[in-house]
Chain A
Amino acid sequence: MKLNKLVQLIDGKVLTDDSLGDRDIAGAMGADLMSDVLSSIKPDSVLLTGLCNPQVVRTALIADIRAIVFIRDKHPAQETIDLANAENIPLVTTSHGLYDACGVLFQAGLPSFETQTEDDCA
């Protein structure tokens, strides 16, 4: 799914300078614990989260996450946005809650990219 379609589906607002709307998103995962994300997200996904600190962007860099969606209208601090701009990771905010936003995307055909706990590191 193209990122700009994803943003449209969840009535999102892009917070970074370049929306990179043409970027392909292969799947999604929703979580607030960065260790959970690091242990179980597959590459090329979007991360939906309620966490707004710069670590989310670092986690995205390490785990090859292609975009981050902040739920419940959460707005990260400027330092998080600056880091995301520097590293080319688009940030999106939506008024949907985590379950809602995940549900909308899942129904639109975006698969879960969260591996089960017994799987190896992707």
Chain B
Amino acid sequence: MASKPPTISDKSAETVTRAEELAYELRIHEVMTENVFSLSPEMQMETALDIFQRERFSGAPVVQDGDLIGILSIEDLIRALREKHLTASVREYMTTELAIVRKSDPVVEALKTFSRTKYGRLPVLDEDGRLVGIITKGDISNGLLDALQRDYHAEELIRYRASHLFEDIISHRTSLILRYDIRQGDFIHGGFASSNIKRALLRLGAKPQLARRCGIAVYEAEMNLIIHTEHGGTLRVEIEPHKITMEAYDDGPGIEDVELAMKPGYSTATNEVREMGFGAGMGLVNIKRCVDEMRLISSTERGTNLYMIMYLNDAEDDPKMVS
């Protein structure tokens, strides 16, 4: 009876765990036990019992002339013991109704077979139908755990490489530059650039507090570009081992009175902008409080350039990014 596979919606697909993904990605031959010990059908049950006890087997395939003809499990041995019939041959007690899987099948096929049958182990056959291994639920758990660990190491490696970027590259002055084009009026994406800048800093090994301060400053600057410019502007972040320079520039309209613009609470924002929670006249004030150095150069002819600089000289601030 073939049961209908459950439909996977986009929504539920998002919550599919990595282990579930791996069950489809990993192939049975990657997790199975190879070189399995096989029994001959003419072997006495007593001999099989000795082997199982010595090797701590809980089951073994029975092979005749290279073909798989059955499985002998510990339950079959118990049956023979109960019936006090250890002189019988393996052939008489082995299970011949076999559920098999192919070595190139995904692991999920074995999982499905386990849940459909009562078996604890499945023989694995190659394309020519020859026995190449045995798979148990334990093999699958171990295989998934190994694969998850490999994933984890890969992620760790990326993180490690990023945080040692500045140590690995030798030059008189190494820097990493991130650029983001910010569109005027694009409130929906407001903060997109800043959250990515913050994430990049964390990945490069910056301490959370430093990344947060940079994030706040650059977020206010990003919102200013969205709210106050004529054609949007650019965010440019230059990361060096000893400092982070964040720059927001645009081509107009420029700030008429820079001193006034720096006063807490002063704002030229429209009501619409205020309804969105911005334009309270605190942006530049916030920026100044978050960064070590701030410079605002603006003219009605050339537009506005805002420089925000964080120094990383203090070894306590951020050991990894200090050369």
Q: Do residues A121 and B216 form an inter-chain contact, with CB atoms below 8 A?
A: yes
**A43 beta carbon closer than 8 Å to chain B:** yes
Q: Do residues B289 and A39 form an inter-chain contact, with CB atoms below 8 A?
A: yes
Enumerate 7 A-B pairs (CB-CB under 8 Å) in ascending A order.
A38-B219, A38-B286, A53-B276, A62-B194, A62-B215, A63-B212, A121-B289
Label chain B's interface by main secondary structure.
helix
A19–chain B nearest beta-carbon distance, Å:
13
Q: Which residue in B188, B209, B276, B280 is a CB contact (below 8 Å) of A36?
A: B280
Bound form: Cα–Cα A120–B212 in Å: 13
Q: Do residues B191 and A59 form an inter-chain contact, with CB atoms below 8 A?
A: yes
- Assuming A33-B280, A34-B278, what are 16 further A-B pairs, CB within 8 angstroms? A35-B220, A35-B278, A35-B282, A38-B286, A43-B208, A55-B191, A55-B277, A58-B190, A62-B191, A62-B194, A62-B212, A62-B215, A62-B216, A79-B188, A121-B213, A121-B289
Given contacts A38-B220, A58-B191, A58-B219, contact A32 B277 (CB under 8 A): yes
Residues of A bordering B, CB below 8 Å: 17-18, 32-36, 38-39, 43, 49, 51, 53-56, 58-59, 61-64, 79, 85, 87, 120-122
Specify the chain B residue showing the minimal Cβ separation from A117: B264
Q: Do residues B195 and A55 form an inter-chain contact, with CB atoms below 8 A?
A: no
Residues of B near A53 (CB, < 8 A) are 187, 276-277
**B198 beta carbon closer than 8 Å to chain A:** yes
Q: Do residues B277 and A43 form an inter-chain contact, with CB atoms below 8 A?
A: no
**B283 beta carbon closer than 8 Å to chain A:** yes
- Near A by CB (< 8 A), chain B positions 1-43 give 11, 14-15
Given contacts A34-B277, A39-B286, A56-B277, contact A62 B208 (CB under 8 A): no
B270–chain A nearest beta-carbon distance, Å:
15
Encoded as 1 (CB less than 8 Å from any A CB) or 0, chain B from 201 to 219 comes to: 0000000110011011001
Encoded as 1 (CB less than 8 Å from any A CB) or 0, chain B from 229 to 268 comes to: 0000000000000000000000000000000000000000
B74–chain A nearest beta-carbon distance, Å:
41
**B57 beta carbon closer than 8 Å to chain A:** no
Residues of A near B11 (CB, < 8 A) are 17
Residues of B near A38 (CB, < 8 A) are 216, 219-220, 286
Q: Do residues B195 and A61 form an inter-chain contact, with CB atoms below 8 A?
A: yes
Specify the chain A residue showing the minimal Cβ separation from B288: A121
**B290 beta carbon closer than 8 Å to chain A:** yes
**B108 beta carbon closer than 8 Å to chain A:** no
B148–chain A nearest beta-carbon distance, Å:
20
A43, A51, A56, A59 — most chain B CB neighbours (10 Å): A59
A18, A36, A121 — most chain B CB neighbours (10 Å): A121
Given contacts A33-B280, A35-B278, contact A55 B187 (CB under 8 A): yes
B283–chain A nearest beta-carbon distance, Å:
6
A89–chain B nearest beta-carbon distance, Å:
11
A115–chain B nearest beta-carbon distance, Å:
11
Q: Do residues A39 and B188 form an inter-chain contact, with CB atoms below 8 A?
A: no
Bound form: Cα–Cα A20–B213 in Å: 26
Bound form: Cα–Cα A110–B155 in Å: 36
Residues of A near B215 (CB, < 8 A) are 61-63
Q: Which residue in A35, A39, A61, A85 is a CB contact (below 8 Å) of B198?
A: A61
Given contacts A39-B282, A53-B187, contact A64 B208 (CB under 8 A): yes
Given contacts A58-B195, A62-B212, contact A35 B289 (CB under 8 A): no
**B132 beta carbon closer than 8 Å to chain A:** no
Bound form: Cα–Cα A1–B66 in Å: 65
Bound form: Cα–Cα A85–B281 in Å: 31
**B63 beta carbon closer than 8 Å to chain A:** no
Q: Do residues B277 and A51 form an inter-chain contact, with CB atoms below 8 A?
A: yes
Q: Do residues A58 and B15 form an inter-chain contact, with CB atoms below 8 A?
A: no
Residues of A near B278 (CB, < 8 A) are 33-35, 55
B204–chain A nearest beta-carbon distance, Å:
17
Residues of B near A51 (CB, < 8 A) are 276-277
Specify the chain A residue showing the minimal Cβ separation from B214: A62
Encoded as 1 (CB less than 8 Å from any A CB) or 0, chain B from 284 to 313 comes to: 011001100000000000000000000000
